[in-house]
């Protein structure tokens, strides 16, 4: 079975047609659901901590106490009122690691975060107190860009595989036509 140059060049449009079909079937407009849920939880935690700090007559809770509370551990009785300001999930993030709190964090642009909460993200490591690319925090407006890029990368690979699977079916009418000719 020999193919002409024109037949071989038809592979490219057929592949792109298959990619278009698979893109419609597999594409996702949503980002990483774990990231969005975690980001929302961290922002609510920040508000709860700010509310506790505003209501507390003893002053704000130290970061060590907040981190113990976020890990679901026992905290000193004088800080037990923090539970009253928060009715959301306490304990680990979506990757099974405890969330963290920071106070007076200086960001790269020079701005200061008075209080914030963050998750260590997928890799479980933070070199910069919540500012690593995969960390999710309550102060960054960028959202979940790191996870969105990762998801799009996996989707593109899946589209290529599906396009390769569709390719014979796109060529089937042409091959039948040639066989009957």
Contacts 24+ apart (CB under 8 A), 161-164: 162/18, 162/21, 162/22, 162/25, 162/26, 163/15, 163/18, 163/19, 163/21, 163/22, 164/15, 164/18
pLDDT by residue for the chain (181 residues), tens only, comes to: 576 766 666 666 777 776 666 666 555 555 567 778 888 888 888 888 888 888 876 778 888 988 888 888 888 888 877 777 777 666 788 888 888 999 888 887 888 888 888 988 888 888 888 888 888 888 887 767 777 777 778 877 887 787 778 777 777 777 777 777 6
Sorted by where each begins, the domain ranges of the chain are 5-29+148-180, 33-142
113: helix, coil or strand? strand
**Residue indicated by tokens 């704000």:** 60
Helix axes 11-26, 145-180, angle to 10 degrees: 130
DSSP summary character for residue 108: T
Q: Which of 153, 91, 151, 98 is nearest to 126 (CA)?
A: 98
**Under CATH, which number does the domain 33-142 receive?**
3.30.700
């Amino acid at each position: 079975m020999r193919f002409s140059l024109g037949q071989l060049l038809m592979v490219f449009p057929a592949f792109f047609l298959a990619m278009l079909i698979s893109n419609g079937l597999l594409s996702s407009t949503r980002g990483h659901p774990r990231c969005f849920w975690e980001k929302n939880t961290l922002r609510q935690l920040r508000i709860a901590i700010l509310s506790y700090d505003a209501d507390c007559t003893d002053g704000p809770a130290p970061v060590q106490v907040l981190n113990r509370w976020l890990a679901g551990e026992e905290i000193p009785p004088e800080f037990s009122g923090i539970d009253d300001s928060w009715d959301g999930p306490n304990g680990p993030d979506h990757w099974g690691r405890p969330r963290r709190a920071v106070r007076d964090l200086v960001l790269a642009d020079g701005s200061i975060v008075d209080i914030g909460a963050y998750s260590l993200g997928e890799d479980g490591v933070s070199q910069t107190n919540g500012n690593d690319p995969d960390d999710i925090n309550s102060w960054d407006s960028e959202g979940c860009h790191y996870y969105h890029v990762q998801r799009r990368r996996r989707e593109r690979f899946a589209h290529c595989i599906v396009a390769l699977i569709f390719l014979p079916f796109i060529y089937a009418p042409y091959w039948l036509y040639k066989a009957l000719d």
